């Protein structure tokens, strides 16, 4: 049967001619088809097929060992398979942790700005969001301390490295202080470390996963940005005590561990050295795209925006000088066939209207330059350039 409307397969709008700088997905040209083919051949080539069965609740033990070895190398710290829980990606893990650790009306702290879709998950759970300010080094820990005088959250959600949207990375000293606070004042830290392995310049501080022994940190990771989001595969790293509610939950008792088949493919990708090689390739290519976007913003938007260039991740976070509302700019940008995410989407309180987030992950370098040029033209259309 011929469908009456176009068949949608991916989240991204792929309208012809559109240069979508809103989209924070991996580049289609960097999706690892050949790696998945080789991993599948490797894994499906034997008669040992536990990945076709309901899986162990914590996640396949072989995969957790392989993942622990991979993370130990890349995090440069010992990671134990016992401390890993396999998730369906960070989004799924956040949702499950909200289900198990919170009830409607509970307070949670979020960064201002923060990942806008995490806000949506927290709102689904009817949580009371308290926004904590950040600066160009990420979360302002004194501000957390200040807020704690009036309210204690169940958890604080943070993206410590190459934050979405700001690109900021929390320095080691602030990481230490934050974890100390969480221990002394008894709240959990949900650390979304999804961009930690995507550092293109310099070296990131150790992940918050390095502080598990304090007993308050749950570190969330994902294969979405380093392999393929379609696998829906990630992990939660935490102390045995914090993992316990996950392992005992009804959803896993009924359905078994999450994504055993995707786990089996990722295990082969790691064991065959393909994941390491892919990560190297991604760092090289995304690093080039970051540079291309930086040059394009300097060339086309100089004097009209200010920003701190990121050193990893997927995003540039711009502040418009002299123009107040990026939602107005977005309407003009769409007419020029480009778009971005307006700053207010990343605010727990609807602020940040003078900000906008551009992504450099999805499009190749030349297209990024053309997109930024269109954006500059749109900006000229809505404000006098002086």
Ligand X SMILES: Cc1ncc(COP(=O)(O)O)c(C=O)c1O
Least distance between ligand X and beta carbon 20 (Å): 14
Least distance between ligand X and beta carbon 362 (Å): 11
Least distance between ligand X and beta carbon 4 (Å): 31
Least distance between ligand X and beta carbon 93 (Å): 8
Residue closest to 111 by CA, chosen among 44, 192, 45: 192
Beta-sheet strands, E only, within 124-233: 128-135, 138-139, 155-158, 188-192, 217-222
- Indicate the residue among 234 and 371 with the shorter CB distance to ligand X: 234
- Indicate the residue among 35 and 332 with the shorter CB distance to ligand X: 35
Least distance between ligand X and beta carbon 117 (Å): 7
Residue closest to 57 by CA, chosen among 90, 96, 91: 96
CA distance 196 to 207: 7
CA distance 163 to 192: 9
Write the CA distances from 114 to 129, 278, 312, integer angstroms. 11, 28, 16
CA distance 168 to 134: 9
- Indicate the residue among 164 and 169 with the shorter CB distance to ligand X: 164
Q: Which residues bind ligand X (CB under 6 A)?
A: 24, 89-91, 115, 159, 164, 192, 194, 222, 224, 229, 234
- Indicate the residue among 24 and 260 with the shorter CB distance to ligand X: 24
CA distance 116 to 239: 28
The H-assigned helical ranges of 187-259 are 240-247, 250-255
What is the dihedral sign for C-alpha 110, 115, 119, 124? negative
Least distance between ligand X and beta carbon 89 (Å): 3
Task: Quote the Cα angle for 195-197-200, to 5°.
Answer: 90
Least distance between ligand X and beta carbon 233 (Å): 8
Q: Position of tokens 């397969």? A: 9
Least distance between ligand X and beta carbon 70 (Å): 16
- Indicate the residue among 225 and 267 with the shorter CB distance to ligand X: 225
Residue 107 near residue 152, CB atoms below 8 Å: yes
Q: What is the largest CA-CA distance in the chain?
A: 71
- Indicate the residue among 234 and 310 with the shorter CB distance to ligand X: 234
Nearest residue (beta carbon) to ligand X: 89
- Indicate the residue among 91 and 134 with the shorter CB distance to ligand X: 91
- Indicate the residue among 89 and 312 with the shorter CB distance to ligand X: 89
Output the six-digit token pair for 285: 């290519």
């Amino acid at each position: 049967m011929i469908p009456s409307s176009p068949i949608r397969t991916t989240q991204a709008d792929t309208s012809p001619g559109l240069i979508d700088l809103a989209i924070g997905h991996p580049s289609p040209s960097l999706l690892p088809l050949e790696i998945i083919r080789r991993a599948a051949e490797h894994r499906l080539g034997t008669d040992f097929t536990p990945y076709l069965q309901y899986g162990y609740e914590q996640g396949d033990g072989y995969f957790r060992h392989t993942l622990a070895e991979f993370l130990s190398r890349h995090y440069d710290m010992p990671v134990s398979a016992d401390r890993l829980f396999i998730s369906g990606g960070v989004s799924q893990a956040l949702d499950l942790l909200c289900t198990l650790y919170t009830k409607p009306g509970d307070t949670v702290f979020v960064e201002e700005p923060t990942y806008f879709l995490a806000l949506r998950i927290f709102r689904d759970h009817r949580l009371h969001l308290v926004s904590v300010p950040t600066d160009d080094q990420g979360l302002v820990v004194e501000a957390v301390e200040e807020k704690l005088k009036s309210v204690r959250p169940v958890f604080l959600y943070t993206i410590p490295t190459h934050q979405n949207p700001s690109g900021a990375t929390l320095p080691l000293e602030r990481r230490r202080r934050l974890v100390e606070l969480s221990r002394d004042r008894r709240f959990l830290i949900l650390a979304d470390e999804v961009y930690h392995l995507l550092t293109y310049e310099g070296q990131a501080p150790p992940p918050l996963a390095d502080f598990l022994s304090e007993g308050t940190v749950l570190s969330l990771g994902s294969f979405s940005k380093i392999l393929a989001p379609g696998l829906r595969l990630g992990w939660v790293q935490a102390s045995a005590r914090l993992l316990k509610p996950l392992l005992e939950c009804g959803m896993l008792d009924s359905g078994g561990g999450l994504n055993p088949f995707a786990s089996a493919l990722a295990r082969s990708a790691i064991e065959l050295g393909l994941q390491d090689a892919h990560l190297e390739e991604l760092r090289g290519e995304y690093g080039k795209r970051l540079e291309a976007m930086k040059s394009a913003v300097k060339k086309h938007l100089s004097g009209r925006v200010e920003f701190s260039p990121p050193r990893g991740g997927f995003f540039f976070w711009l502040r418009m000088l002299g123009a107040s509302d990026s939602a107005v700019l977005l309407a003009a940008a769409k007419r020029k066939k480009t778009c971005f995410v307006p700053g207010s989407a990343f605010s727990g309180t609807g602020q940040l209207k003078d900000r906008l987030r551009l992504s450099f992950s999805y499009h190749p370098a030349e297209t990024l330059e053309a997109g930024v040029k269109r954006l500059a033209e749109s900006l000229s259309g809505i404000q006098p350039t002086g």
